[in-house]
């Protein structure tokens, strides 16, 4: 199953063999990733051994694996066709192999922890699933219930979330982008202590996300520093301040900020 390379004389596997191997490699990798993201009942009992986990997957996640198998087959065919087309050209073959070798760590991580999780979320959105019981297919019932808030105010949690995200996108994103550009321009100008300010502004980028999260929580908890400082400041003028649950109020952070000024969004 080999042939001579007309340009280099090296012995190369036939492109049909390589294309078939590529197809199976893609399918196997995607199915292994799907196994790690399969919706199971979870718990120590299931994770005790590979046998118990696979048995749980077989019992509860076969539809999910079937959907992933279909997707893996399509992607495998696309990959095999690409290899089959590019393999006869030595330069393109080299670029193809080296490119995917360098990309492979990123692709595996992304497929496992991003694409796999998205597919898992998409699958369980059509099921009644709470981790502790097997998924029960409900079709579009979850989506219908999410939008039921249009007719039933008691079930408006999802619509309230969309409302908060919309206002966040309209206010925070443009403001944050404009301030970032302004600071970047200022820090590129000839000012004193420029290196110091650059270091201060860039420090959060290299700080542990866990530390940043803890600091954020310390500030915005109902008993956090923001409520504490506002209460102390207003106390100087004899005014009372009722602590706000910045992170837990469903009205959203922006509404909580503008509401004291009589603005409702």
Whether residues 48 and 108 fall in one domain? yes
Whether residues 116 and 231 fall in one domain? no
The model's pTM is 0.54
Instruction: Evaluate whether residue 190 is within a structural domain.
Output: yes
Q: How many domains does the chain have?
A: 2
Instruction: Evaluate whether residue 14 is within a structural domain.
Output: yes
Whether residues 92 and 181 fall in one domain? no
Whether residues 131 and 176 fall in one domain? no
d(CA 208, CA 210): 5
Instruction: Evaluate whether residue 24 is within a structural domain.
Output: yes
The parent domain of residue 70 ranges over 2-139
Instruction: Evaluate whether residue 27 is within a structural domain.
Output: yes
Whether residues 130 and 183 fall in one domain? no
What is the number of residues in the chain?
A: 265
Ordered per-residue pLDDT tens for the chain, 265 residues:
445 555 444 445 588 888 899 899 989 988 888 887 777 765 555 566 777 777 777 777 788 888 888 988 998 999 899 888 888 888 888 888 898 889 888 888 888 888 878 888 888 888 888 777 777 888 888 888 888 877 777 677 788 788 888 888 888 889 989 988 988 888 888 878 888 888 888 887 787 888 888 888 888 888 888 889 988 898 888 888 888 888 887 777 777 777 766 667 6
Q: Could you say which of 110, 139, 168 is where a domain stops?
A: 139
**Three-class secondary structure of residue 4 per DSSP:** strand
Q: Could you say which of 139, 166, 192 is where a domain stops?
A: 139
d(CA 37, CA 117): 7
d(CA 40, CA 60): 6
């Amino acid at each position: 199953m080999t042939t001579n390379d007309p340009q280099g004389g090296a012995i190369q596997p036939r492109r049909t063999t390589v294309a078939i191997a590529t197809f199976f490699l893609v399918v196997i990798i995607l199915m292994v990733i799907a196994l790690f993201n399969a919706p199971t009942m979870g718990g120590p009992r299931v994770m005790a051994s590979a046998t118990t986990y696979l048995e749980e997957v077989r019992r509860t996640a076969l539809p999910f694996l079937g959907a992933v198998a279909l997707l893996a087959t399509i992607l495998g065919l696309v990959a095999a066709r690409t290899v089959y087309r590019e393999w006869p050209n030595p330069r393109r073959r080299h670029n193809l192999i080296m490119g995917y070798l360098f990309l492979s760590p990123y692709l595996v991580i992304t497929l496992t922890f991003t694409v796999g999780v998205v597919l898992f979320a998409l699958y369980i959105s059509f099921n009644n699933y709470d981790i502790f019981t097997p998924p029960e297919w409900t079709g579009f019932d979850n989506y219908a219930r999410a939008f039921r808030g249009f007719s039933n105010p008691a079930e408006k949690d999802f619509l309230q979330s969309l409302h908060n995200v919309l206002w966040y996108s309209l206010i925070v994103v443009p403001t944050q982008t404009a301030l970032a550009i302004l600071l970047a321009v200022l820090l590129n100008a000839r000012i004193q202590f420029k290196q110091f300010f650059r270091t201060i502004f860039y420090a959060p980028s290299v700080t542990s996300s866990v530390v940043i999260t803890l600091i954020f929580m310390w500030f915005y908890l109902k008993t956090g520093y923001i409520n504490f400082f506002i209460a102390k400041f207003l106390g100087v003028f004899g005014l009372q301040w009722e602590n706000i649950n910045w992170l837990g109020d469903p009205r959203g952070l922006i509404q909580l900020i503008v509401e004291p000024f009589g603005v409702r969004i």
